[in-house]
A and B are shown apart, each in its own frame.
Chain A
Amino acid sequence: MRIQVRRTGGFAGIDRHAEVDTSGRPDAQEWQSLAERAFASGRGTPPVGVPDGFSYQITVDGKTVYCADPRLTEEQRKLISRVLKEGA
């Protein structure tokens, strides 16, 4: 499973992008389960965010959903921070 996260907006207006390919990873099952739950609660179109809030695109195997601060689910928040931190 290929998990990509793109973050745009924020006070600084600086984009960040990272991705994780779970194939061959010992924790692949955990990543996939987290990604599926985060994806399921995403929206098909970008929600109207708040001033200076981050907007996110979560792409799993080519399909994209959207979400924005401060209204993220726990799974979305966890997935986003893990991908941006550990992803390449």
Chain B
Amino acid sequence: MTTNGGFEPVFCTVVPPHVLDKLARNDDPALSGPARRTLMRDSELRGKRRVTTEFALAAAPTAKAPSDQPLRTVYDAEHRTALPGTKVRGEGEDPGQDATVNRAFSGLGATFELFLKAYGRHSIDGDGLPLDATVHYDENYNNAFWNGEQMVFGDGDGEIFLDFTIPIDVIGHELAHGVTQYTANLTYYGQPGALNESMSDVFGALIKQYTLGQTAAEADWLIGAGLLAPSVTGKALRSMKEPGSAYDDDVLGKDPQPATMDDYVRTGRDNGGVHINSGIPNHAFYLAATQLGGHAWEKAGQIWYDVLTGGELTDRAFFTDFAKLTVKAARERYGDGGEELQAVEKAWEQVGVRIL
């Protein structure tokens, strides 16, 4: 499937980094995607080379089947920024006094469980990768992120955001970035970046629903409910049910997410609007899941998971590429003419993403 008219730029390491940097910022993902990947691979490789040289290590082949139990470690950055920080809780250890540590630990477990029970996936990489998280990162830090190896959570400033470990879907969201990294590795810019974000919102929401035992009809379909400080006018950071309706506040402004392609936002900020246009695939998932009813992780979630991990989704995929693959996955898993296929087709049609 080609989205760029067959134009396939070739990059190798002789391209000077500043040229790659410039290309990586190009508005055309056909140009920026390969450059970004090259830059990322370069830094990954440099890191690996350094580690293997310094410690005389080589990757040991894993012969053993991965465990059905997670291997979790939570670290405390003690309000500084060095990662991972001080180890405060390992697997098999009892909960301590710090609620943030305990929430992070439970959230890691819930995420591990959904991927294992619903999709038979062993951890983020499918091969039992240990799950590491650092809490209390920096001071009044209003964010959480995935650094390529682990999750990092700030405490929030208490004025706009509270502790980022409060919503379990935020924990799931960060870990799902890890799953995407190990599978389709969607480039974090423009439409592939918005798909990357949407994968994290979808599986973050499913982890919350799975933990609460909710059906699609019962779920709130909010991302980050409980994260906004009491003085903020809003219910969450994003709404998959009604993108654009999560908050409208004097300080934060209004939730900028579109629900359909008619309102697609073109911007260079936020890596080309990855947290903005993710509203469109998010809403498509919500529509498919609620149309099918029951537990969203069972059918709609399975179809999305099939596409994310199936090997056909390229790292530069646009919404339409992803949508077409969900239609194909629905047909392959549940049959032609089934309600699953119809629900998926209708969902993309409603958000204005072409599937033909």
In the bound assembly, the distance between CA atoms of A46 and B268 in angstroms comes to 11
Residue of B nearest to A77 (CB): B81
Residue of A nearest to B40 (CB): A48
Interface residue SS majority, chain A: loop
Question: Is the CB of B336 closer than 8 A to any CB of chain A?
Answer: no
Distance (whole angstroms) from the CB of A7 to the closest CB of chain B: 9
A1-27 interface mask toward B, CB cutoff 8 Å, 1 = contact, 0 = none? 000000011111111000000000000
> Is B145 touching A53 in the complex (CB atoms < 8 A)?
yes
* Chain A residues in 8 Å Cβ range of B275: 9-13
> Is B271 touching A52 in the complex (CB atoms < 8 A)?
no
* Chain B residues in 8 Å Cβ range of A8: 269-270
B116-143 interface mask toward A, CB cutoff 8 Å, 1 = contact, 0 = none? 0000000000000000000000110011
In the bound assembly, the distance between CA atoms of A81 and B188 in angstroms comes to 25
* Chain A residues in 8 Å Cβ range of B9: none
Question: Is the CB of B355 closer than 8 A to any CB of chain A?
Answer: no
> Is A50 touching B269 in the complex (CB atoms < 8 A)?
no
> Is A52 touching B142 in the complex (CB atoms < 8 A)?
no
Question: Is the CB of A69 closer than 8 A to any CB of chain B?
Answer: yes
* Interface size range of chain B in the complex: 35 or more
* Chain A residues in 8 Å Cβ range of B252: 12, 14
**Looking at the complex, which one of B83, B188, B237, B256 makes contact with A70 (CB distance below 8 Å)?**
B83
B145-175 interface mask toward A, CB cutoff 8 Å, 1 = contact, 0 = none? 1111000100000000100100000100110
Residue of A nearest to B187 (CB): A48
Contacts A11-B237, A70-B83, A77-B81: A52 and B177 contacting too (C-beta < 8 A)?
yes
In the bound assembly, the distance between CA atoms of A13 and B279 in angstroms comes to 12
> Is B25 touching A51 in the complex (CB atoms < 8 A)?
no
> Is B177 touching A45 in the complex (CB atoms < 8 A)?
no
* Chain A residues in 8 Å Cβ range of B145: 10-11, 50-54, 69-70
* Chain A residues in 8 Å Cβ range of B18: 44-45
* Chain B residues in 8 Å Cβ range of A11: 143-145, 164, 170, 173, 224, 237, 275
Find residues 1-45 in chain B having any chain A CB closer than 8 Å to their own CB: 18, 21-22, 24-25, 36, 39-40
> Is B21 touching A50 in the complex (CB atoms < 8 A)?
no
> Is A45 touching B237 in the complex (CB atoms < 8 A)?
no
In the bound assembly, the distance between CA atoms of A15 and B147 in angstroms comes to 20
Most chain A CB within a 10 A radius of its CB, from B138, B269, B271: B271
In the bound assembly, the distance between CA atoms of A10 and B273 in angstroms comes to 11
> Is A55 touching B271 in the complex (CB atoms < 8 A)?
yes
Find residues 34-77 in chain A having any chain B CB closer than 8 Å to their own CB: 43-55, 69-70, 72, 77
* Chain B residues in 8 Å Cβ range of A46: 21, 24-25
In the bound assembly, the distance between CA atoms of A72 and B7 in angstroms comes to 36
Distance (whole angstroms) from the CB of B151 to the closest CB of chain A: 10
Contacts A13-B276, A14-B252, A70-B145: A51 and B200 contacting too (C-beta < 8 A)?
yes
Distance (whole angstroms) from the CB of A88 to the closest CB of chain B: 14
In the bound assembly, the distance between CA atoms of A38 and B146 in angstroms comes to 24
Distance (whole angstroms) from the CB of B17 to the closest CB of chain A: 9
**Looking at the complex, which one of A9, A47, A69, A77 makes contact with B270 (CB distance below 8 Å)?**
A9
Distance (whole angstroms) from the CB of B50 to the closest CB of chain A: 15
Contacts A11-B237, A13-B276: A52 and B39 contacting too (C-beta < 8 A)?
no
* Chain A residues in 8 Å Cβ range of B148: 50
Where the two chains meet, the residues of A that have a C-beta atom closer than 8 Å to any C-beta of B are 8-15, 43-55, 69-70, 72, 77, 81
Q: Would you list 5 pairs from A and B whose C-beta atoms are within 8 A, ordered by A residue?
A: A12-B224, A48-B36, A51-B196, A52-B173, A70-B152
The 10 closest A-B pairs by CB, nearest first: A13-B275, A52-B145, A45-B21, A51-B177, A53-B145, A8-B269, A10-B143, A51-B146, A13-B270, A50-B147
Q: What would 16 more interface pairs be, CB under 8 Å, given A8-B270, A9-B270? A: A8-B269, A11-B145, A11-B224, A12-B143, A12-B224, A13-B275, A45-B18, A46-B24, A47-B21, A48-B36, A51-B174, A51-B177, A51-B197, A52-B144, A52-B174, A53-B143
